[in-house]
């Protein structure tokens, strides 16, 4: 059996991974599960999956977790260090399904011990890509992408001849506001923004999909996972989300991975790699879908994508500043403190005001992230 640790086990990706574990008895032994503050949800998942260790990030939730696990024999722990300990404990695969830069330290802990990582937590690669990839090179850790686009690219990428890749083309559904004008976006609610036309996901990534920041973060993620050069990365809008991404080769061939929009397909691919396993995902019926559409992204209506592109080109800590500002702006939008169109304005202002620097170490990333968050909060206060 393969031992599996899930960081962020109570979320959208984490619970879909646990669904696959339950459907495949004998394939994975769950070593550890973690969550932020939902003690009941974590305890239920730990009992159901037979986990050995359950770690909750919020120390205030420790008593609840301990009570909910009483008599189960499952070890409980709390705090940021406990989440890192879950990542450090021996185990074959670590699925990183924490949302945001909060996943950075535990991801790095797993990378440094040379684990195989199934990476969903894209923000960690965005804010600390060079640190994570250098640590993986040093430890021999394997990085397998779970994000559907990067998983698609991984499946069709010629790993033996990366120099034969002409272009990586990320597909993007366009989100719930694909056809709206900028003026129509001014008053949209959190519920509107979370109503993704194709995927059902956590709140933060749903908002990111509505601003197209998600695709911007994914460009930077692709840049670190498939280092073919910035000029070979492209984005195309594809509302049906059937083609999950494409790789164009120098001979003009374009290889794509297709499937129904069900995250259990890429999650299963990464967790079972290099094997393929059956999943309960609906089969692709192209005749029923009828048409696949494609269009160029609109960087004027969706400036977050342009900001991410600029931050990626600027390099250094610019992507870290972009990500931190976006996390603060999205949280403020969800909390009703700012409007939807303030998100890109806050990110742009933060990028303009926070000096970019190197991202050679975890300490440097954490310091840049802290400064960017403080500036983004100041921008929100200034707007209130």
Query: What's the gap between Cα 358 and its chain centre?
Result: 23
Q: Which two tokens stand for residue 82?
A: 């406990």
Distance CA(310)–CA(230), nearest Å, equals: 11
17 binds ligand NAD (CB under 6 A): no
Q: Which of 80, 81, 73, 77 is nearest to 54 (CA)?
A: 77
The interface partner of residue 201, options being ligand NAD, Mg ion, none and the CB cut-off 5 to 8 Å by kind, is ligand NAD
Q: Is 117 in the site for ligand NAD (CB under 6 A)?
A: no
Check residue 57 for interaction with ligand NAD (CB under 6 A).
yes
Q: If we measure between CA atoms, which residue out of 185, 122, 126, 129 comes closest to residue 150? A: 122
Residue 68 contacts which entry, ligand NAD, Mg ion, none (Cβ below 5-8 A, type-dependent): none
The distance in angstroms from the start CA to the end CA of the chain is 54
Smallest separation, CB 71 to Mg ion (Å): 40
**Considering CB under 5 A, how many residues would be counted as binding Mg ion?**
3
- Contact set for ligand NAD, span 195-224 (CB under 6 A): 199, 201-202, 204-205
- Name the DSSP letter for residue 159: T
CB 62 within 8 A of CB 82: no
What's the length of the chain? 384
Per-residue interface string for the shown chain with ligand NAD, residues 252-281, x marking contact by CB under 6 A: -----------x------------------
Structure tokens at 158: 């010629």
Task: Decide: is 65 part of the binding site for ligand NAD (CB under 6 A).
Answer: no
Interaction mask 127-146, ligand NAD, x per CB under 6 A:
--------------------
d(CA 1, CA 285): 34
Q: Residue 98 binds what, of ligand NAD, Mg ion, none (CB under 5 to 8 Å, by partner type)?
A: ligand NAD
Question: Looking at beta carbons only, is 152 or 351 nearer to ligand NAD?
Answer: 152
Pairing mode, if any, of strands 93-96 and 2-7? Answer: parallel
Q: Which of residues 285-344 bind ligand NAD (CB under 6 A)?
A: none
Q: If binding is defined by CB under 6 A, does position 123 make contact with ligand NAD?
A: yes
Instruction: Retrieve residue 63's tokens.
Output: 């008593």
3-state SS, one letter per residue, for 238-290: CCCCCEEEEEEECCCCEEEEECCCCCHHHHHHHHHCCCCCCCCCCCCCHHHHC
Q: Is residue 54 within the footprint of ligand NAD (CB under 6 A)?
A: no
- Indicate which single residue of 4, 31, 32, 35 sits in contact with ligand NAD (rule: CB under 6 A): 35
H or E, element range at 83: helix 80-88
The answer to whether 83 contacts ligand NAD (rule: CB under 6 A) is yes
Q: Which two structure tokens, joined as six digits, stand for 75?
A: 């070890």
Residues numbered 125 to 164 that lie near Mg ion (CB under 5 A) are 147-149
Stretch that binds ligand NAD, among 3-11, 107-115, 285-293, 358-366 (CB under 6 A): 3-11
Question: Considering the complex, what minimum distance in angstroms separates the CB of residue 202 from ligand NAD?
Answer: 3
Contact residues toward ligand NAD (CB under 6 A) are: 8-14, 35-36, 38, 57, 83, 97-99, 102, 120-123, 147, 199, 201-202, 204-205, 263
Contact residues toward Mg ion (CB under 5 A) are: 147-149
């Amino acid at each position: 059996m393969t031992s599996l640790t899930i960081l962020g086990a109570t979320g959208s990706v984490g619970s879909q991974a646990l669904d696959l574990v339950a459907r495949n008895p004998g394939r994975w032994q769950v070593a550890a599960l973690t969550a932020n503050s939902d003690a009941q949800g974590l305890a239920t998942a730990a009992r159901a999956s037979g986990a050995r260790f359950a770690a909750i990030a919020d120390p205030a939730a420790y008593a609840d977790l301990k009570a909910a696990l009483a008599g189960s024999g499952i070890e409980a722990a709390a705090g940021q260090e406990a989440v890192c300990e879950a990542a450090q404990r021996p185990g074959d695969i670590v699925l990183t399904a924490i949302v945001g830069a909060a996943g950075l330290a535990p991801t790095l802990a797993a990378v440094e011990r040379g684990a195989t990582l199934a990476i969903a937590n894209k923000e960690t690669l965005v804010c600390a890509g060079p640190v994570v990839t250098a640590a993986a090179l040093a430890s021999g850790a394997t990085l397998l992408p779970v994000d559907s686009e990067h998983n698609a690219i991984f499946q069709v990428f010629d790993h033996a001849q990366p120099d034969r890749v002409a272009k990586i083309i990320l597909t993007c559904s366009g989100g719930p506001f694909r056809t709206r004008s900028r003026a129509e976006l001014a008053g949209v609610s959190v519920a509107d923004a979370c109503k993704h036309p194709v995927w059902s996901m956590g709140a933060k990534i749903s908002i990111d999909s509505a601003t197209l920041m998600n695709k911007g973060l994914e460009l930077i993620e692709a840049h670190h996972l498939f280092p073919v050069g910035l000029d070979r990365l492209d984005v195309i809008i594809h509302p049906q989300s059937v083609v999950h991404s494409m790789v164009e080769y120098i001979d003009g061939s374009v290889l794509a991975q297709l499937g129904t929009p069900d995250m259990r397909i890429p999650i299963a691919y990464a967790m079972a790699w290099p094997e393929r396993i059956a999943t309960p995902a609906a089969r692709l019926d192209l005749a029923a879908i009828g048409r696949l559409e494609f269009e160029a992204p609109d960087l004027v209506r969706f400036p977050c994508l342009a900001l991410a592109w600029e931050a990626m080109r600027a390099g250094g800590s610019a992507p870290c500043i972009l990500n931190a500002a976006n996390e603060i702006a999205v949280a403020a939008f969800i909390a009703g403190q700012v409007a939807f169109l303030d998100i890109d304005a806050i990110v742009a202002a933060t990028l303009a005001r926070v000096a970019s620097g190197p991202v050679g170490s975890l300490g440097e990333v954490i310091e840049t992230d802290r400064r960017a968050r403080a500036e983004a909060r100041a921008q929100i206060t200034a707007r209130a």
